[in-house]
Amino acid sequence: MIHFLYLVAFALFVSVCFGVFSQGETKEKVWYATKTFLEFVGISLLIAWVLYFIPF
């Protein structure tokens, strides 16, 4: 569970940085940061789900 919290914290930090340094109006920056956060978490969970079924 702690790995997931680290993932969310990292995704939040990086997404906020991406949103702050992106170009455009405030609404576009917020949407970009939100989209980036959801992509980080979603793709990470998808990769974790796929790797769960690979035996090591």
pLDDT in tens, the chain (56 residues): 899 999 999 999 999 999 999 999 999 999 999 999 999 999 999 999 999 999 87
In a domain, 28, yes or no: yes
Number of domains within the chain:
1
Cα(46)–Cα(23) distance, integer angstroms: 29
Residue 42, domain extent: 22-56
Considering only CA atoms, which of 31, 30, 37 is closest in space to residue 15?
37
Q: What is the DSSP letter of 55?
A: -
Cα(12)–Cα(36) distance, integer angstroms: 9
Residue with tokens 């455009």: 24
In a domain, 3, yes or no: no
pLDDT computed for residue 56 by the predictor? 79
pTM above 0.85?
yes
In a domain, 32, yes or no: yes
In a domain, 14, yes or no: no
pLDDT computed for residue 1 by the predictor? 84
